[in-house]
Amino acid sequence: MKRILLIATLLLSSFSSFADEGMWMINTIDRMLEKRMKATGLKLDGKMIYDEEKESLSDAVVALAFSCTGSMISPDGLMITNHHCAYSDIHALSSLDHNYLENGFWAMNRADELPVKGQAIYFLKKVFDVTGEVMRLRDSLDVAHHPMAMRRVYKLMEDKYATFYPDQGELICSSYYNGNQYYMALYQVYRDVRLVAAPPVCIASFGGDTDNWEWPQHKGDFAIYRIYTAPDGSPAEYAPENVPLHPKKILKIAQNGLKDGDFTMVIGYPGRTNRFASSYAVEEIVQVQNPIQAQFRMDQMKILDKWMNEEADIRLKYADRYFGLSNVQEIREGEIYCYNRFGVVEAKRAEEQQLQKWLGNSDLIYRLGQKYEDVAGINQQIVYFQETLVRGTNLHRYANALSRGDTALAQKELKSLDMRVERDLLRYSLRQFYKYVHREYWGEYLTQVYDRCGGDVDAILRDVFEGGHIRDALISCRITGFNEKRDKIEAGESKNDLERQYKNAVYQMKQAKHQLMYPDANSTMRITYGKVRAIQPRDAVSLASKTSTAGILEKYDPDDYEFTLKPEVRELLEKHPGVPVNFLTDNDITGGNSGSPVLNAKGELVGLAFDGNKESLAGDTYFVDAMNRCICVDIRYVLWLLREYAHADTLLSEILSE
């Protein structure tokens, strides 16, 4: 009975939008959405959030190469985001002598700021509907029978509109509602980006993987960059003579905090959601993809952890790799937990019963389920291959450089690795590969060396490393063989084709029933709204919505790297045990929202979104209102660290200047 009631509750959340559910397109804030936001507590007009003609809040929000979000906080180009968004940049700038991950970095003047290679900051300038044009072009190119043709459609559209906006930025065409709507976005892109401030990991990532996706947390997860332009204000590559950007809009810093029930909104660039997905797609995630990914990445982390704890040089070399592995591993594990706990497959099956009634005699849902069953085996084989020989080591860039004959690049790649670590990673990957991947997919070298060595993985490793066969080992097994097998199984009608038809049917049904809909996230600017909200994650467990520096001291453990503190940090916290650190809201976010500004009812910056809770990890395919939470670093903690820890008075004055 309880299971039935839970599914009914989940169905209700799906078909009637809660006030805080939805990643709404920033350019489509209509009267109805504005009314709903104001009923929740918003004190601004919609035009103050997004306006193509006048200055608005959205002008202060940027995409960091569409992987994270940031916001402008000073008239001279300071941009704030999460530390974990800047992690790769900080890692690349670090060395054993200047380990900015462990020790932090603070530029006390502009001459000390560090240029960041490869970063790109995108400012949204304009969005416009191109649905009709794209559909006509799509139909003329017969995209239905040539899936890759959509890339050509986008390119043709972007090239066309580039003639209308010459030298005004970069144009990107995107699909919404599974191809039922298309919009073009114009971005101004800046590439001279310099690191200004980053706390040490003992502050930025206090609690590490143990606290990741959990609540309560106590992370000072922020970093600050400065964006530079050519002397005339135009975008430019790095040059010493460049000057700080003067942004169109900056966010005002809130001086007061929030209490439970206070309105919050998040503007950012959420990456991907799949909330129109079928029950069969979710079932594949739970039963095929995630268990393999979670287990293999956990085992790889154990190998890295052993070496990183032994040598400081290895810790620095592999910090970024470990960071990426741990984040994905915990997401995959958490998704399994949430999909099972909240009965998401069953809930979507109940939705599909409603859809079937609306479809009438169509056998679309049956064919979709049958196709997932047909391809389950080969899809599992592909995941095993990808998690072992593709993602299992860091040797691919080295092997690819060798295959192109670029020995200089190959040697450069090798210098960034420790071959003892790579040998252990490859040993594990080969064992899992030979155990789970069927022999027909091994390829010539991996088959021959297996037979020659009698299946002894250590002997195979000696052949790979001492015989100079690293490249052969990594490219012997090709994705082509798997795809050919899958193509035979899917002849006539592919799983992806059927899934698209299913999503279109859901869209058409909701539209016919006049139900409110927001499109799946696709790395375009979105706005979500909600409130500061505590949580009851489990029976008889209630967790408050805020944490303070007192909690850091409670968790402190000098024998645990994730919970240790530098002596000067611990001493400072002991003097100030009540400083606000993190807080919870029920805003609807996903990957890509990291670093997004969290704004109060007046549009003032109160924090930065940096994480979700474990109970929200069904959110990419299914939203559970009672459990969905957004974890934010309090802007007051950021300011306090700048003042009391970094003593960055000049920087602080710049941020707080009106």
Kindly write down the DSSP assignment for every residue of 492-555, as one continuous string: TS-HHHHHHHHHHHHHHHHHHTT----PPPBSS-EEEEEEB--EEEETTEEE-SEEEHHHHHHH
Q: Which residue has the tokens 């993809």?
A: 289
Task: Name the nearest CA neighbour of 636 among 549, 529, 564.
Answer: 549
pLDDT beyond 60 at 145: no
| Residue at 364: amino acid letter | L
139: Cβ contacts below 8 Å, ≥ 6 apart: none
Cα–Cα distance between 417 and 394 in angstroms, integer?
8
How confident is the model at residue 17, as a pLDDT?
42
Instruction: Tell me the mean pLDDT in the region 322-338.
Output: 94
Is the CB of residue 633 less than 8 Å from the CB of residue 221?
A: yes
- Let me know if 40 is exposed, middle or buried by CB neighbors in 10 A (0-12, 13-18, 19+): middle
- For residues 504, 509, 514, 515, the Cα torsion angle rounded to the nearest 10 degrees is -80
How confident is the model at residue 13, as a pLDDT?
39
Instruction: Tell me the mean pLDDT in the region 618-644.
Output: 96
- Tens of pLDDT, residue by residue over 516-543, are 899 999 999 999 999 999 999 999 999 9
DSSP secondary-structure letter at 360? Answer: T
Q: Which residue has the higher pLDDT, 32 or 435?
A: 435
Instruction: Tell me the mean pLDDT in the region 53-62.
Output: 97
Residues of the chain with pLDDT > 90: what percent? 87
Confidence category of residue 10, pLDDT binned at 50, 70, 90? very low
462: Cβ contacts below 8 Å, ≥ 6 apart: none
Taking the CB of residue 434, how many other CB atoms lie within 10 A of it? 16
Task: Read off the tokens for 70.
Answer: 């940031």
Cα–Cα distance between 528 and 506 in angstroms, integer?
22
552 Cα distance to chain centroid = 26
Instruction: Tell me the mean pLDDT in the region 16-34.
Output: 81
How confident is the model at residue 120, as a pLDDT?
98
Confidence category of residue 477, pLDDT binned at 50, 70, 90? confident
Cα–Cα distance between 68 and 594 in angstroms, integer?
5
How confident is the model at residue 589, as a pLDDT?
97
Computed from CA positions of residues 100, 101, 103, 108, in that sequence, does the dihedral angle turn out positive or negative? Answer: positive
Of the given ranges (109-113, 147-151, 460-464), which has the lowest mean pLDDT?
147-151
pLDDT beyond 60 at 366: yes
- Tens of pLDDT, residue by residue over 261-318, are 999 999 999 999 999 999 999 999 999 999 999 999 999 999 999 999 999 999 999 9
Q: What is the mean pLDDT of the chain?
A: 93
Kindly write down the DSSP assignment for every residue of 563-628, as one continuous string: G---HHHHHHHHH-TT-EEEEEE-----TT-TTPEEE-TTS-EEEEEEEE-GGGTTTTT---TTT-
Is the CB of residue 599 less than 8 Å from the CB of residue 265?
A: yes
Helix (H) or strand (E) holding 294, with range, is: helix 290-310
Of the given ranges (17-26, 201-210, 631-640), which has the lowest mean pLDDT?
17-26
pLDDT beyond 50 at 15: no
Computed from CA positions of residues 93, 95, 97, 98, in that sequence, does the dihedral angle turn out positive or negative? Answer: positive
Task: Name the nearest CA neighbour of 561 among 205, 96, 98.
Answer: 205
The helix/strand/coil state of 212 is: coil
Instruction: Tell me the mean pLDDT in the region 584-594.
Output: 97
How confident is the model at residue 396, as a pLDDT?
85
How confident is the model at residue 305, as a pLDDT?
95
Is the CB of residue 294 less than 8 Å from the CB of residue 336?
A: yes
- The answer as to CATH 3.30.1330.30 being correct for domain 2-120+191-269+524-656 is no
Return the beta strands (E) in 86-222 as ranges: 105-106, 114-116, 121-129, 170-176, 181-190, 192-198
Taking the CB of residue 256, how many other CB atoms lie within 10 A of it? 9
Instruction: Tell me the mean pLDDT in the region 172-198.
Output: 97
How confident is the model at residue 253, as a pLDDT?
98
- Tens of pLDDT, residue by residue over 83-136, are 999 999 999 999 999 999 999 999 999 999 999 999 999 999 999 999 999 999
pLDDT beyond 70 at 143: no
pLDDT beyond 70 at 19: no
pLDDT beyond 90 at 146: no
Enter the pTM of the model: 0.92
Confidence category of residue 5, pLDDT binned at 50, 70, 90? very low
What residue spans define the domains of the chain? 2-120+191-269+524-656, 133-190, 279-489
How confident is the model at residue 325, as a pLDDT?
94
pLDDT beyond 50 at 484: yes
pLDDT beyond 80 at 434: yes
Locate all alpha helices (DSSP H) within 55-207, ordered by sequence. Answer: 83-93, 100-103, 131-140, 149-162, 201-204
| Residue at 464: amino acid letter | V
- Tens of pLDDT, residue by residue over 27-49, are 999 989 999 999 999 999 999 99
